[in-house]
Amino acid sequence: MSRSQPAAGQAGAVPAPRRRASLRPWRRAIVGGAIVATIMLVAIFAPLLAPYDPNEQDLLNQLLPPVWAGGNWDHPLGTDNLGRDTLSRLIYGSRVAMIVAVAAASGALVLGTALAIVAGYFGGIVDWIVSRLVELWLCFPPVVLSLILIVGFGVGLRNVILAIILVDWTRFCRVVRAEVLVVRRNDYIDAARLAGFSHWRTIRREVLPAVAPLILTILSLEMGIAVIVEAILSFVGMSVESTIPAWGVMIADARKDMYQAVWGLVLPILAIIVTVLGFNLLGDGLRRALDPKLRQRVIQ
């Protein structure tokens, strides 16, 4: 039915000339992306950047403070209770964080999005099963489920990634399925079928591009979540093997000495927060820049 518009200006789109490319909507994504890229580079070039071997103990220099708190330039960020260099451990710790972030988030993306698209596009019994599966998964707080999975699989980087994938695919599945249902209601999906497109081709050419901005956004947010979950797991000693430095392990170790050496606790915490903030800014920025419709929406 015709619905008259309140404002004169809204009648018919103005055939606008192509908009001048502006960086403004991208500002947030750029800041986030820069943070993430920096940490990625640190992780890749860790052996070149780190002044010490992260596991090298120096029992004469235990619990040194950072340089601004009375330490010395041999260990700019101080040492831990075994005299290991904090800076080197932070630098190497970024490797675990980044590997888990990329691998676990991508895995969750593939599993969750595939199920979401099949469920949302075809509907019916497939959708029913997938929806109930998500509901079943949501019965567990994510931390509890990942702990159970790690107990089952055993510790190690591969198992941590697998556990996070198996826990967090639902995040993609829920949000993307809802979006596919919205896209599916558009007549251009039926129009593609009438143009002779197969289901597979319709999904690839019409549905996927429509949900891609959303997927990218969740991917970025999920990377931040994966960093947190890995930190939680390593905090309780259920993540990587003890010889590999990880931020969560550093926090757990430093907690015992927090009265004497507060910076040993604060620095890995800051590392986690900055990393997660980077991913969140990137995700939030992508959401704003890629799809104006998503601008107001909050993605869980």
Q: Between residue 250 and residue 289, which ones bind other proteins under the rule CB under 8 A? A: 251, 255, 258-259, 262, 265-266, 269, 272-273, 276-277, 280-281, 284
- Identify the sign of the CA torsion 7, 12, 15, 19: positive
231 and 247 in contact (C-beta within 8 Å)?
yes
Q: Which of 83, 232, 244, 257 binds other proteins (CB under 8 A)?
A: 232
Residue selected from 71, 120, 142, 264 as contacting other proteins according to rule CB under 8 A: 142
Instruction: Assess 23 for contact with other proteins (CB under 8 A).
Output: no
Pick 26 or 153: Cβ nearer other proteins: 153
The dihedral region occupied by 254, where left means phi > 0, alpha psi between -120 and 50, and beta the remainder, is: alpha
Q: Given the complex with other proteins, which of 41 and 262 has the nearer CB atom? A: 262
Residues 154-193 that bind other proteins (CB under 8 A): 154, 185-188, 190-193
For residue 32, the one-letter residue type is G
In angstroms, what CA-CA distances link 18 with 11, 15, 24, 27, 293?
19, 9, 16, 21, 19
Please, which residue, 69 or 138, has the CB nearer to other proteins? 138
Q: What is the CA radius of gyration of the chain?
A: 24
**String of contacts with other proteins for each residue 193-212, x by CB under 8 A:** xxxxxxx-x---xx--xx--
* CA distances to 19, 30, 223 from 23, in Å: 12, 9, 24
- CB of 267 closer than 8 Å to CB of 245: no
- Total Cβ atoms within 10 A of residue 48: 8
Binder to other proteins among 235, 239, 246, 250 (CB under 8 A)? 235
CB of 52 or CB of 263, closer to other proteins = 263
Site membership for other proteins, residue 24 (CB under 8 A): no
Least distance between other proteins and beta carbon 263 (Å): 11
Question: How many residues in total does the chain contain?
Answer: 300
Minimum Å gap between C-beta 47 and other proteins is: 28
Closest separation in Å from C-beta 76 to other proteins: 21
Subset of 34-93 contacting other proteins (CB under 8 A): none
Among 139, 200, 241, 243, binds other proteins (CB under 8 A): 139
Size of the site for other proteins (CB under 8 A): 81
Nearer to other proteins, 243 or 300 (CB): 300
From 10-18, 40-48, 95-103, 111-119, give the range in contact with other proteins by CB under 8 A: 10-18
Query: Taking a C-beta distance cutoff of 8 angstroms, is the pair 217, 290 a contact?
Result: yes
The smaller minimum CB distance to other proteins, of residues 6 and 70, is found at: 6
CA distances from 24 to 150, 212, 214, 277 (A): 43, 21, 20, 19
Residue 79 is given by DSSP the state B
Which has the closest alpha carbon to 267: 59, 100, 71, 40? 71
CA distance 82 to 272: 22
Task: Please state the closest distance from residue 117 (CB atom) to other proteins, in A.
Answer: 17
